[in-house]
Amino acid sequence: MITMEVLNLIRRLRLREKLSVHEIARRTFLSRNTVKKYLKAEIVEPKFDASNRASKLDPFAEKQAAWLKSEAAKPRKQRRTLKQMHSELTALGFTGSYNRVAAFAREWRADRQHEQQTTGRVTLPPPANPV
């Protein structure tokens, strides 16, 4: 995988410093074919396909969302921790890591906060000028 930094380095070495493809390949530890490919291509940045893979948490997402919703209504000291939720999900058959549960909770909270900020906003039309 080539990053934007490496792509910029290849272009800078070729266009500004006027180095040969062989010398660029030697300095960047890339093959000459790769250097040629990125010099020839007129791309601005490399594009990668973001695969939408299913998460191990997907079958348990509704369950965890319901838990998070019910826990949000409770006082802070009475809420279950994410570690407790992870252990309960594990008891239900979840085989993923704690980090996946924590990431889901972060995303859920961010979505909920965004909904609360945008809910109820109404844009009124400008007042008519009684001329």
Is the whole-model pTM more than 0.75? no
Q: What is the pLDDT of residues 89-103, one digit of tens each?
A: 999 999 999 999 999
Q: What is the pLDDT of residues 26-45, one digit of tens each?
A: 999 999 999 998 888 776 66
For residue 5, pLDDT beyond 80: yes
**HEC profile of 73-122:** CCCHHHCCCHHHHHHHHHHCCCCCCHHHHHHHHHHHHHHHHHHHHHCCCC
Most confident by average pLDDT, 3-7, 55-59, 123-127: 55-59
pLDDT beyond 70 at 73: yes
Q: What residue type is assigned to position 3 of the chain?
A: T
Higher-scoring residue by pLDDT: 44, 13: 13
Of residues 22, 90, 96, 26, the one with CA closest to residue 57: 96
